[in-house]
Amino acid sequence: MPYLNLDESLKRSSLGIDYSTSIDDPGMAESREIQEIDPDRPALTEVPGRVLLVEPAAHERSWLRNELLAGRMEVSEATDLITAQRAVAMFQPNLILAQLRLPTYSGLELVRRLKRDSTTQSIPVLLYTDLATAEERIQALELGASDLISRPFVAAEVLARLRAALRIRHLLTILEQRAHLDSLTGLANRGVFDDRLPREWEACRRRRTALAVMIADLDHFKAVNDSHGHAAGDTVLRQSAATLARVIRTSDFVARYGGEEFVVVAPDCEISAAVRLAERFRTAIEQLRIDEHGDTIPVTTSVGVASFADLTRTGPAELLRRADEALYRAKEAGRNATWFWEQTQSSPAPAVPSSDTEP
């Protein structure tokens, strides 16, 4: 499975994973690519370390830095809580090794601040000190530190603990990604969509901007599976997902809604722009040429679109219901069509196909 690189209002999860649209497609930006990593591979022992070392004493900092560099870690340094916070923002470490007893503020306060911030709470923090008390150990672990090491220590043990913390973080990241991704297409799954829609609704309501939802359903998909096999059906789904991810705006969110259905949440999007977006996708799918054992599989899609400009009168469930009803009407009217339902309309209407498909 590929790997998604979903909070400007929701894009960051508790592990700091970015869930904006992503799909395994060479035409997309690197930040939106997905990359499969097998947790059973030995390469996990070599997760690259970007370590922020927080130590006030120059001689101790120098010794630790040299040991970390010898252990093939990339290192940045800080001397107290304030410089550490700046370094976190600039260096973006994936691991922090910090002295417990820092000047002014302790290492415990550093842990507390990092774990309060959704953008840094997933970074493992290992604290060290001379003869830590049981109370300090308990407090450090309860605040979210990965470990508290007592000095004197052997450099090899510190490196082993750092690598173990990196492996655990890496595996947790993969687990969260797999829990939120559709394994076939690499798009976000239905659960993520169910969480995202009300958040985008609330964000657009605060900004007083329109919110659009688009539901696309591949036409006669069962016939593809029946005639060409499920492997061919999987290829159609993957290429359709890649096409959708390519034509949407960077601010839009896309998910696999279920079966052969995809859904897009488009913030700050009036009905006219939403219809153009839907038509871009519909025509791009119509132009797909998927070859399977010498046969070309024709693919088309039906699309339902709804957009609300006034988000104070109803809720996201009604927006979704209207998009679904518009999709039903597109199917009923013969498929390979876009139907839309604007907030002030009493019923869905067909979109007029146009060569102007730019959003």
pLDDT value at position 354? 53
pLDDT value at position 353? 64
Query: CA quadruple 318, 319, 323, 326: dihedral positive or negative?
Result: positive
pLDDT value at position 131? 80
**What residue numbers bound the domain in which 160 lies?**
35-178
Q: What is the CATH number for 239?
A: 3.30.70.270
Buried-state track 89-115, b at ≥16 Cβ within 10 A, e below 16: eebebbbbbbbbebeeebbbebbebbb
Q: Supply the residues annotated as catalytic.
A: 260
Counting the structural domains of the chain, the total is 2
Neighbouring CB atoms inside 10 A of 343's CB total 17
- Do 156 and 271 sit in the same domain of this protein? no
Task: Select from 113, 147, 178 the last residue of a domain.
Answer: 178
- Do 173 and 187 sit in the same domain of this protein? no
pLDDT value at position 37? 38
Consecutive 10-residue runs of the chain (359 residues): their mean pLDDT? 34 39 36 37 62 96 94 94 95 95 92 93 93 88 93 88 91 86 94 96 96 98 93 95 95 96 97 96 94 88 97 94 97 96 90 59
**Burial (CB count <10 Å: 0-12, 13-18, 19+), residue 322:** buried
Query: CA quadruple 235, 237, 242, 244: dihedral positive or negative?
Result: positive
pLDDT value at position 75? 96
pTM recorded for the entire structure: 0.64
pLDDT value at position 153? 84
CA distance 160 to 214: 49
What is the gyration radius of the CA atoms in the chain, in angstroms? 25
